[in-house]
Amino acid sequence: MILPSISRSVLRQHSKAAARYATNIHASRTMSTSSSPWSQFEMAPTDPIVGLNEIYNKDDFPSKVIVGVGAYRDDLGKPYVLPCVREAEQILMDKNLDMEYTGIAGEPKFVDLALKFVYGEDSVPIQENRVHGVQALSGTGGLRVFGELMAKHGHKHIYVPNPTWGNHIPIFTNSGLEVRKYRYYDAESSDLDFTNMMKDIKDIPKGSLILMHACAHNPTGMDPTMEQWKEMSETIKKQGLVPFFDCAYQGFASGDPVKDASSVRMFVEDGHLISMVQSFSKNFGLYGQRIGALSVVGADEDEAKRVVSQMKMVIRPMYSNPPRQGARIVTTILEDPRLTQDFLDQCRGMADRINLMRTLLQDKLAEAGSTKNWDHITKQIGMFAYSGLNKDQVMEMREKHHVYCTADGRISMAGVTSGNVDYIANAIHDVSK
């Protein structure tokens, strides 16, 4: 049932035909509620990830389980607001701040703290004041601004790993970039397809954008080792490619934000002028606030600032300026050492629970009698387990066991609890034996 993401050209073809028909109808009718401009439209496909919630909500099976969207749940399956976030909110209430517009680029203090969080305060470009950026609408918003920015500046395509987060494709397509893929994951062995990845990277034309997941690759959970990252860095430099990082899980992958930023920091140290989008949805649990950052490392301060000024040109006709609450929460936490420590502890707590669930799930699969190799579940990192289940198996799991994951077999480990892990393991075993 996975619905392909519809490319803009296909949409346009359809809508052109529909529009021609609509125009003809339109011209021959007088104004009435029946001469609607919208009568020829067809239902668009539901988003494969978010649409899962809708299907799940319609199911009234009492033991139904959803392991779809990448949002953390506690061991009772409940959403979790980090205590440091609650405390920050109370602090903000007490400050009685106004709700004036922030700048197009967002809260400068937030951007500064966000960039230091990922690049590291002692990063050379940070010290040299040549890393600049904007507050973004979480990861998606940052990606879209970046895509439009690059499309306006001569880029025609961007390379993403295969597979990648589904929404990457329509984001960049709608930005005006053609999405191309480099091999990344070997489904057969449930492992990184490093050799073929390097082959494909060597074929990427000079000057092309290459997107990489900074850590906890979504959906596979398979990250390169530091040695592999090193080889990628050298090759990308030799190829003259433009490296762009999508960093959505810093702190959430291993539990250690510094460790999770290793790949990014290595590239910066190797002299790449990287660009990056950060999301604070997962690590700070601020999903609904839409808080993130988009940044560039410039050759010098002026250059980075010029790029930021161009980002603002993209933002103003899109949403004018970003929402304040999420930025204020993150700022309140990261500018206070004690709150920052609380955050680190609570973020690690989330990562630890997920890793515990990985181990538990693998054990339970063995207990259930599965003879398949499920090592990849504990080898993978981050919120997701790329189970290896195929589309039919996923559908069977939905229909027969009311366990919902996305059609690519991606399981959100955050949705696994000690209460449902047995049930899930049995369901997976049943459809895959």
Interface stretch with other proteins, choices 91-99, 250-258, 336-344, 353-361 (CB under 8 A): 91-99
Please, where are the H alpha helices in 44-137?
A: 50-58, 83-95, 108-119, 124-127
Nearest distance, CB of residue 218 and other proteins, angstroms? 13
Nearest distance, CB of residue 155 and other proteins, angstroms? 5
For 250, the token pair is: 């810093």
**How far, in whole angstroms, is CA 236 from its chain's centroid?**
22
Nearest distance, CB of residue 11 and other proteins, angstroms? 6
Active-site residue flag, 112: no
CB-based contact 277:243 (threshold 8 Å) = no
CB-based contact 143:114 (threshold 8 Å) = no
Q: Does 137 bind other proteins (CB under 8 A)?
A: yes
Q: ∠ CA 412-143-280 to the nearest 5 degrees?
A: 55
**Rounded distance, CA 160 to CA 264, Å?**
16
Contact pattern from residue 170 through residue 189 relative to other proteins, giving x for each residue in contact according to CB under 8 A and a dash for the rest: xx-xx---------------
Q: ∠ CA 265-225-144 to the nearest 5 degrees?
A: 55
The residue assigned the tokens 């339109």 is: 26
Chain positions 11 to 30 lying near other proteins, rule: CB under 8 A, are: 11-12, 15, 18-20, 22-23, 26-27
Q: Which of 344, 346, 359 is nearest to 413 (CA)?
A: 359
Nearer to other proteins, 34 or 371 (CB): 34
Options 186, 323, 356, 368; binder of other proteins; rule CB under 8 A: 323
Q: How many residues bind other proteins (CB under 8 A)?
A: 103
Segment (H or E) for 339: helix 337-367
Nearer to other proteins, 251 or 285 (CB): 285
For 138, the token pair is: 């979480």
Nearest distance, CB of residue 331 and other proteins, angstroms? 14
* Phi then psi dihedrals of residue 10, to 5 deg: -65, -45
Q: Does 322 bind other proteins (CB under 8 A)?
A: yes
Q: Does 163 bind other proteins (CB under 8 A)?
A: no
Q: Does 46 bind other proteins (CB under 8 A)?
A: yes
Nearer to other proteins, 39 or 341 (CB): 39
In a 3-state reduction of DSSP, which class is residue 279? Answer: strand
* Phi then psi dihedrals of residue 192, to 5 deg: -60, 135
Q: Does 99 bind other proteins (CB under 8 A)?
A: yes
Q: Please name the residues in contact with 379: beta carbons below 8 A apart, sequence gap of 6 or more.
A: 191, 221, 222
Nearest distance, CB of residue 75 and other proteins, angstroms? 16
Options 111, 179, 204, 304; binder of other proteins; rule CB under 8 A: 304
In terms of Cβ atoms closer than 10 Å to its own Cβ (0-12, 13-18, 19+), residue 314 is buried
Active-site residue flag, 374: no
Options 4, 95, 122, 153; binder of other proteins; rule CB under 8 A: 153
Options 4, 42, 95, 337; binder of other proteins; rule CB under 8 A: 42
Please, where are the H alpha helices in 240-324?
A: 257-260, 262-269, 301-319
Catalytic residue chosen out of the listed positions 246, 260, 342, 408: 246
**Rounded distance, CA 163 to CA 184, Å?**
7
Q: Does 196 bind other proteins (CB under 8 A)?
A: no
Catalytic residue chosen out of the listed positions 112, 165, 200, 223: 165
Options 116, 183, 230, 312; binder of other proteins; rule CB under 8 A: 312
Q: Please name the residues in contact with 361: beta carbons below 8 A apart, sequence gap of 6 or more.
A: 374, 377, 385, 413, 416, 421, 424, 425
Options 9, 101, 127, 419; binder of other proteins; rule CB under 8 A: 101
Catalytic residue chosen out of the listed positions 223, 282, 342, 408: 282
Chain positions 269 to 298 lying near other proteins, rule: CB under 8 A, are: 271-273, 281, 285-290, 296, 298
Q: Does 317 bind other proteins (CB under 8 A)?
A: yes
Nearer to other proteins, 384 or 423 (CB): 384
Active-site residue flag, 282: yes
Options 65, 66, 67, 85; binder of other proteins; rule CB under 8 A: 85
Q: Does 235 bind other proteins (CB under 8 A)?
A: no
For 374, the token pair is: 């499920």
Q: Which residues are catalytic?
A: 165, 246, 282
